[in-house]
Structure 1
Amino acid sequence: MIYTIKTVRHEDWRKAKEIRLAALRDPIAHLAFLETLEQAVARPDDVWQGRAEASAEGTSLRQFVAEGQGGEWLGTMTARVELPGDETVFGEAAKAPQTHVVGVFVQPAARGAGLAEQLFSAALQWSWSLEEPRIERVRLHVHEDNPRAEALYRKVGFERTGHTVLVPGDTPFHEIELDIPRSRS
């Protein structure tokens, strides 16, 4: 399978919306994403345009996509900068500058081709390349009932931190935190 890893540009907002909706239609979306398909569909276009613009600027958020030869998007993930004192996705404050990988998705037909690993490589490279803030770790969360995703994350170097959080609206289930500290990269 031939593909190119690139970052989302402002004009890509329609494709960014399309791949997000595809991700939310996946049979395990309820384990992988905190947003529902209904919530995403209801978002106005200016929200999607704003997300693409934020990625294009690349200073606090960067969305990566794998694009096939025909221009189709085969996979995506986003890295978000979290600073000390900022409230993060699950409400706790970051202790040091870090990026949080979210929205990991690969189209079913493209799975197993190494595409996810290349997306992670791009997200990690971007995170470590930031000079200000200097990122100390890259982290992500995985639902406790999603061992396939955790296996992928461990394959690319993430390890469990021992920290878990309750899944919002899905109690008593937990999200397991995994990370790659700068010292281990």
Structure 2
Amino acid sequence: MQHVIRPVRADEWEQVKELRLAALADPAAPIAFLDDLESARARPDTFWQDRAAGAAYGGSIHQFVAEAPDGSWDGSVTVLVERAGDDDIFGGATDFDQGHLVGVYVRPGQRGTGLAGALFEAALEWAWSLDEPLLRRVRLYVHERNDRAAAFYRRAGFRPTGQVVPMETDPLAKELEYAFPRPRP
């Protein structure tokens, strides 16, 4: 793999936007993301500028990208820090400090090359490096019908927790929580 895995920079909002639009155009997007292509395309540049800045400088959000030798981006993952007692993205309060992986995407031509694993490795390394808050685990959610993603998450060391939430866009569909516990020192 010749990609460089690195944090996004605040001035890279156009690349953040382009990769997100590519992710939302993917056929799996309706079961992989809580966003849609039409809404994302309608957002002003200031939204994307704020998103890139927050992911670059935010202490509670950190986005990693896979940059190809030609400078193009082929994948991304974002880590959200959820503090104990705060509401999570599904509206429930968390009981302890944890990380939450969102926006996982690798371009179709790069799937199966190890790129997703490298992105996860960087995201987890960053999550475990935090002293405050000290994260107890990192979690993510996967749609019950997204078997390909669920298989990758299991290979990456994430395990189903039994926590299930209805999908925002389809209350009959379920999102399954997977978690990776903090490694013991």
TM-score class, shorter-chain normalisation, is over 0.9
Q: How many angstroms apart in 1 are the aligned matches of 2:125 and 2:70?
A: 26
- In structure 2, what is the equivalent of residue 128 of structure 1? 128
Task: State whether structure 2 residue 83 is matched by structure 1 residue 83.
Answer: yes
Give the deviation of 1:184 after TM superposition.
6.3
- In structure 2, what is the equivalent of residue 19 of structure 1? 19
Moved over 4 A (4+): none
Give the deviation of 1:43 after TM superposition.
1.1
Q: How many angstroms apart in 1 are the aligned matches of 2:153 and 2:123?
A: 13
- Give matches, 1:1-185, under 5 Å: 1-183=1-183
Q: How many angstroms apart in 2 are the aligned matches of 1:37 and 1:183?
A: 37
Per-residue CA deviations over 1:146-168 (Å, capped at 9, x if unaligned) read 00000000111000001000001
| Matched AA of 1:180 | F
Deviates more, 1:158-167 or 1:38-47: 38-47
Per-residue CA deviations over 1:105-156 (Å, capped at 9, x if unaligned) read 0001111110000000000000000011111110000000000000000111
Deviates more, 1:54-63 or 1:157-166: 54-63
Deviates more, 1:83-92 or 1:137-146: 83-92
Paired residues in the alignment total 185
Give the deviation of 1:87 after TM superposition.
1.1
What runs of 5+ residues in structure 1 fail to find an aligned partner?
none
| C-alpha RMSD over aligned residues | 1.1
Q: How many angstroms apart in 2 are the aligned matches of 1:117 and 1:165?
A: 26
Give the deviation of 1:97 after TM superposition.
0.6
Give the deviation of 1:58 after TM superposition.
4.2
Q: How many angstroms apart in 2 are the aligned matches of 1:140 and 1:155?
A: 14
What runs of 5+ residues in structure 2 fail to find an aligned partner?
none
Q: How many angstroms apart in 1 are the aligned matches of 2:78 and 2:169?
A: 23
Q: How many angstroms apart in 2 are the aligned matches of 1:146 and 1:42?
A: 27
Q: How many angstroms apart in 1 are the aligned matches of 2:16 and 2:137?
A: 26
CA change 1:32–1:174 in 2 (3 A) is: same
Instruction: State the SS of the aligned residue for 2:172.
Output: coil
Q: How many angstroms apart in 2 are the aligned matches of 1:26 and 1:148?
A: 14
Give the deviation of 1:169 after TM superposition.
2.2
